[in-house]
Structure formats: structure tokens, C-alpha cells
Amino acid sequence: MSLMSRYLLRQNLFLMFMVLGVGIGLYLLSDLFDRLDDFLEAGVSAKVAITYFVVKTPLIISQILPAVFLIACILQLCIMARSRELVALQAGGISFLRLARFFFVCGIAWAVAQLAFSQFLGVQGEQLAARIWKEDVRKKSIQDTELNRVWFTEGAYIVHLGTVVPAKRQGRNVTAYELSDDGREIKQVLKARSFTAKPGDWTLRNVRILDPGMLTTGRADAYSLPLQQDVAAFQVVDPRTDLQKLPLWKLWTATRQLQATGSNVEALRTALHMKLAYACSVMVMGLIGLMLVTWKDNLYICIGTGLLLTFVYYALFTVGGTLGEKGIVSPVLAAWGADILFGGSALARILWFTRSRGKIQRKGKDSRRRWLHPRRGNPITRHKGHPDNKTGDETVNLRGSDV
């Protein structure tokens, strides 16, 4: 690593951690004021409250990291411009494009960090925080969790559970469809008001038995089914689960399994792509920061404009995710549309700023200064009295912001 890269990296890390600390502090302070009354009413200890906010920190980092990287890049570049470091770098032959490559590589590293925080530490921390909030604050035990309208298949049976309490292995309103050996016909339908589920022995009570072939019905006080399904495993299933909160590998596995059965997986595919696209938004924010500095090197204007563009990006990202989950647009376009739009626009501006701008030719004392564009034959002429017009023939190559 060169001396310049070490200097830029050290400066970038300092600003990143400073801005990240401020962002985490503001987020936690807002969350604390929002939930303080609930903690006081529940009478939880200070240790539990502190644990709740600590385990949420990785998720907070993953959420605010793109905006933090944008602000850190703007601060670093504007400070360098104000102290004339950018001019010194260009005078030393280091182009703005080379500087942009450094920040892009930093963006890739921070994107990987964002993905790690959101999919590993963030997921575990959010689950622990949700358990603390539910059990210690809301006083709702996991033993009382109920699930409604659960379907599963096993062997020759298709089972629908109206209501099930996984921890107690009990439920109500169960319907079991027993299929024929070839799976094309229904041999009988069992409907029970309640059941107790033990692996290998499901006991149905107050059962109504229907035989579609004979068009007969019967009743039984109890009926046993040889099902191996353990309903305690359903404790990890929450029908209200936000798809964005599932780990990346679970989304990938669920998408492949459901797609193989012919199910609609547009929502899962959209959530999967949105996780990857949000991680890549760190690189997009870095490009936006570079783009803003090519326009203005005023710190306040750049930060204000950058935050405004960040809000617009998040709005488009959210709208795209909603459209993708509803199947209105393709999951890829829904998730990556905001990244492509903002990243492509910022990159185009940076490349335009660093483009080759031809040659300036100055010939003779009384000649006019001529700008020769490399793709145009007709020069743009300047008046004879231009202050840069000097005696003698001279050709100067200009590139990037030297013009």
C-alpha cells in the first residue's frame, strides 16, 4: 500500500468511526425516548434495558452504514479541497479518477462489512432484542405463542391446523386428508375439534370422519394418526415475520424449495435481491459523495445535498421493494433499480469530469488562443487579449479538473 493510500485510509477510518458513533448515539437516544415508558411500566432492571440496546447495535450499524459512508467521504474530500490537498495531488500527477478508485475500493470493503453486520450479528441481535421485548417488557411467554392456519404434508396425509400452540403441542380445529396410494384420490377426511401432537402419535378428539367414496360420515371420541411431525418446531415460524429480517441463506433456501413446488416466490426473490442491493448501496453512496465534490467543494452544501439524495434513494428503494413483492415489476429491477439509477448517474458525472479535454494551442504573440477538441475539427476561438496569451508557440495538455 502506497503512502498516499495509507494516509487516505487512516483519514477515512477516523471520519467513519466518528460519524458512525454520532449516528449510533442519535439512533439509540431516539429509541430510548420512544421505549422508556414501556421499560418503566414493566419494571425491568437496568441490566435488561442496557442489554436490549446493546444487542440492537449491530442492526443499527447495518442500517445507517451507507449514509455514514456518504457523509465520511464528503467530509474527507471537502477537507482535502479546503486545505488544497486535492490541488497538490493533481499537481503531482495523481488524477481525480485514481482518487475515486480508492474510495470505490473502500466502499466495497464497507459493503462487505454491512452484509456481515446485517446477516450475522444483526440477525442474532434482533432476535434476542425481540425476545427481551416480548418476554420481559410485554410479559408474553413463548409458551403461549399461537399459530393459525398452518399446513404441512407427511406421507399420505395433508394436514391443516386451525390453531396450534407449539410449546404445548396442542391445538384446535384440525383437518387431515388421507390420500390413496397413487395420491390421486382422497380416501377419507378427518376433522377434529382438538388434538394433542406427539411425534409418532397424534391424538384427535371429537372427530368427524368423512368417506368421499362411500359418501358416508362417522364420529369418534378419539382417533390416532401415525404422524412424525413435531409441532414444537413451529415455534420458529411467525406468519408476521418480515421477509427482510430473515437471514440471506434462509431466504435463498426457502426460495429454491418453494420454487420447486411451483409456489409464487416473487416476494422472497425481491427480499433476497434487496439485501444484496442495500449492501451495494454503500458503494453507490461513495460515488455520490465523489460526484458532489466535483460539483461543489463547500462542506455544508455537499452534506445537505447528499442527505437529500439519500432520502430520495431510500424512498425509491422502498417503493421498488413494495412493487417487487406485489409482482408488479421484476424482483431484480425492483431491488437494483435505485442502485443502478443513482450509481450510474454518479459514475457518469465522475467520468465526464475526468474526461480528456483536448489541447490548448498558443502560437505567436498576436494569434488568438484556440481550443482544439479531439473530436471536432472546428476550434473554439478566444479573443486576442486573453491574459494567458504569451509569446511563442506552446501546446498544453489539459485533463480532468486542470481546465
Would you state the cell numbers that stand for residue 282, as one nine-digit string? Answer: 454503500
How many Cα atoms occupy the beta-carbon half-sphere of 308 within 13 Å? 7
Inside any domain, residue 163: yes
pLDDT of residue 402: 42
98 and 18 together in one domain: yes
pLDDT of residue 245: 65
24 and 78 together in one domain: yes
Of residues 187, 191, 202, the one with CA closest to residue 162: 191
197 and 271 together in one domain: no
Would you state the cell numbers that stand for residue 177, as one nine-digit string? Answer: 386428508
Alpha-helical segments (H) within 117-225:
122-131
116 and 14 together in one domain: yes
149 and 188 together in one domain: yes
Inside any domain, residue 260: no
pLDDT per position as a tens digit, 125-134: 888 888 888 7
The amino acid sitting at 347 is: L
**Distance between CA atoms of 303 and 286, rounded to whole angstroms?**
13
Q: Sort 302 into a burial class: Cβ within 10 Å, 0-12 / 13-18 / 19+.
A: buried
7 and 132 together in one domain: yes
**Distance between CA atoms of 142 and 131, rounded to whole angstroms?**
9
Q: Sort 57 into a burial class: Cβ within 10 Å, 0-12 / 13-18 / 19+.
A: middle
pLDDT of residue 250: 75
Inside any domain, residue 252: no
- Choosing from 241, 275, 302, the residue where a domain stops is 241
Provide the percentage of residues in the chain whose pLDDT is more than 70.
Answer: 82
Inside any domain, residue 251: no
Low-confidence ranges of the chain (pLDDT < 50): 358-363, 365, 367-403
pLDDT of residue 94: 84
> Using an 8 Å Cβ cutoff, are 38 and 137 in contact?
yes
pLDDT of residue 216: 81
15 and 111 together in one domain: yes
148 and 236 together in one domain: yes
Q: Tell me the backbone φ, ψ of residue 229, rounded to 5 degrees.
A: -65, 130
DSSP state of 117: I
220 and 321 together in one domain: no
193 and 315 together in one domain: no
Domain count, the chain: 3
Of residues 258, 269, 271, 385, the one with CA closest to residue 318: 271
Inside any domain, residue 197: yes
pLDDT of residue 57: 92
Residue-range definition of the domain harbouring residue 308: 3-139+266-353
pLDDT of residue 79: 92
88 and 180 together in one domain: no
Region class of 222: left (phi > 0), else alpha (psi between -120 and 50), else beta: beta
**Distance between CA atoms of 356 and 78, rounded to whole angstroms?**
24
pLDDT of residue 267: 82
